[in-house]
Structure 1
Amino acid sequence: MSSLSIIVPAGGVGSRFSSEEKKQFYQLGGKPILYYTLLRLKNVDSLELIIGAAEEDFSRIEEIVEEVGIKNYILSPSGRERQDTVYNALLRASGDYVLIHDAARPFLSKIILDRCMENYVDYPGMICGVRVKDTAKLINDDRIEQTIDRKRLILVHTPQIFNRKILLKCMSEIVSRGVHITDEAMALEYFGYEVGFVESEWYNLKITTKDDLHIADYILNNFDMLAGV
């Protein structure tokens, strides 16, 4: 049976969040956002949970991890960009596969997780996302260039799961070539590897700006109903 490591990149400064507090530590329902993210991952069968973060935040993260009740974890220093943080953590991972989940995506449900876990060994990479419902258009500055077939578009969420050796090889090349990626699936796509897709749910929200907090409060207060708990 394949083994799994979990990576949570939590080194972001949240430039779009417009707060002196890093968004992963912002209080939601009396707890840091990172608390709920780790809580959703607590019962995943894994070898270790690796959190990539600024070293100045290590002691704070240790307090959150201990409150959640996760025992087997590793703190990994963050890098300049998210991809550097993930790469640093990936070097410390020991599982055959790695599950990567955003620190500021605190509403991962068992439903979504089960979909991702069901067939991930069938692909070098597996991601989840939601299908685009609105009409989608390609723009150039303030002009419309064309309408895109929305049936072929998804909005990408995490978790994303990868064969560790393949992702490490791709990420090593990405780093050495100075290529910028916004998610780890791009590293595999860059080198032509197949990436699978399963459905996520709208409530698997990534908190990016303070406007998202209004939706996050609703999801938090209704999570059991939304996630079918």
Structure 2
Amino acid sequence: MNYDVILPAAGSGKRMGAGKNKLFLELKGKPILIHTLEVFERDNWCRGIYLAVKDSERDFIQSLLVQYNITKVRAMPTGGDERQHSVQSCMKAIGSGEIVLVHDAARPFIVEPTIHELAEAAYEKGAAIVGVRAKDTMKRVEEGIIQETVDRSTLWMIQTPQAFRFELLQQAENHAERDNFLGTDESMLVEREGESVYMVESSYENVKITTKEDLVFGEAILNQRIGG
């Protein structure tokens, strides 16, 4: 089975407070972006990688691709102000396909078996996303006051990749653009189409590097995986 993967990489990373794109920060001497790209570079199921980037960063990213021998990047369209717009730019660059994944470029710890399980689920059912079960007690709060304790057995923390049949995501993106609708993720757009989205269980290690504390956690994950 083959898939294409979209990586929105045009964010500002303000919560990191690094003064530059957080994807260029290093974990064990290698940029976060490269760690993520290498996962898909190694995967034989991955047909092509599409990066949504800032125009001002395109040349630097291209130099990283050459430096680290990343060969599967097929296009680097300009990213939009919102993730949804960046994904749509990449969808247009792909043109057509069978299965398309959307993955946070700042999640470098996704593993191939999970990717394959996800791609197969999307192929069979149309749409699937990865996540992990909520571990903590969950409460609904309004104006600082607890309203209820929510049954966590039905709650999942959503991650990426999210995978879809190409035509389904394309339709959902087009309808959202037509209706001026902005979703929080691609799954929300597909749910809006009345389609069922299936869950694939991932790992708590599949973290998104968002804060300085996440960098420490990321280093620990890499130390465990490769030693150091």
Q: TM-score, normalised by structure 1?
A: 0.92
**Matched letter for residue 80 of structure 1:** D
Alpha-carbon separation, structure 2, partners of 1:109 and 1:48: 17
Partner of 1:69: 69
8 Å contact kept, 2:104–2:161: yes
**Matched letter for residue 181 of structure 2:** V
Deviations 1:160-217 (A, max 9, x none): 1111111111111112222221211110011211111111101111011112111111
Deviations 1:140-175 (A, max 9, x none): 120111111111111111111111111111111112
* 3-state DSSP of counterpart to 2:117: helix
Alpha-carbon separation, structure 2, partners of 1:7 and 1:205: 18
**Matched letter for residue 162 of structure 2:** Q
> Which among 174, 177, 182 is matched to residue 175 of structure 1?
177
Alpha-carbon separation, structure 1, partners of 2:180 and 2:226: 43
1:198 aligns with 2:200: yes
Alpha-carbon separation, structure 1, partners of 2:180 and 2:27: 36
* 3-state DSSP of counterpart to 1:170: helix
1:160 aligns with 2:162: yes
Q: TM-score, normalised by structure 2?
A: 0.93
Partner of 1:4: 3
8 Å contact kept, 1:127–1:196: yes
8 Å contact kept, 1:130–1:156: yes
Matched ranges for 1:9-88 at <5 A: 9-44=8-43, 45-73=45-73, 74-88=75-89
Structure 2's unaligned 5+ residue stretches are none
Q: Percent identity among equivalent residues?
A: 33
Partner of 1:124: 126
- Equivalent residue pairs, number: 224
* 3-state DSSP of counterpart to 2:46: coil
The verdict on how the C-alpha distance between 1:83 and 1:132 changes in structure 2, with shifts beyond 3 A counting, is same
Partner of 2:113: 111
Alpha-carbon separation, structure 1, partners of 2:26 and 2:57: 16
Structure 1's unaligned 5+ residue stretches are none
Alpha-carbon separation, structure 2, partners of 1:67 and 1:37: 15
Deviations 1:3-40 (A, max 9, x none): 42111110100121112021111122111110100011
RMSD: 1.5
Moved more, 42-51 or 53-62: 42-51
Shift of 1:119: 2.7
Shift of 1:127: 0.3
Alpha-carbon separation, structure 1, partners of 2:119 and 2:141: 36
Deviations 1:83-124 (A, max 9, x none): 110111011113211011111001111232232133321122
The verdict on how the C-alpha distance between 1:72 and 1:106 changes in structure 2, with shifts beyond 3 A counting, is closer
Alpha-carbon separation, structure 1, partners of 2:209 and 2:71: 26
**Matched letter for residue 169 of structure 1:** Q
**Matched letter for residue 93 of structure 2:** R
8 Å contact kept, 1:52–1:78: yes
Alpha-carbon separation, structure 2, partners of 1:189 and 1:216: 32
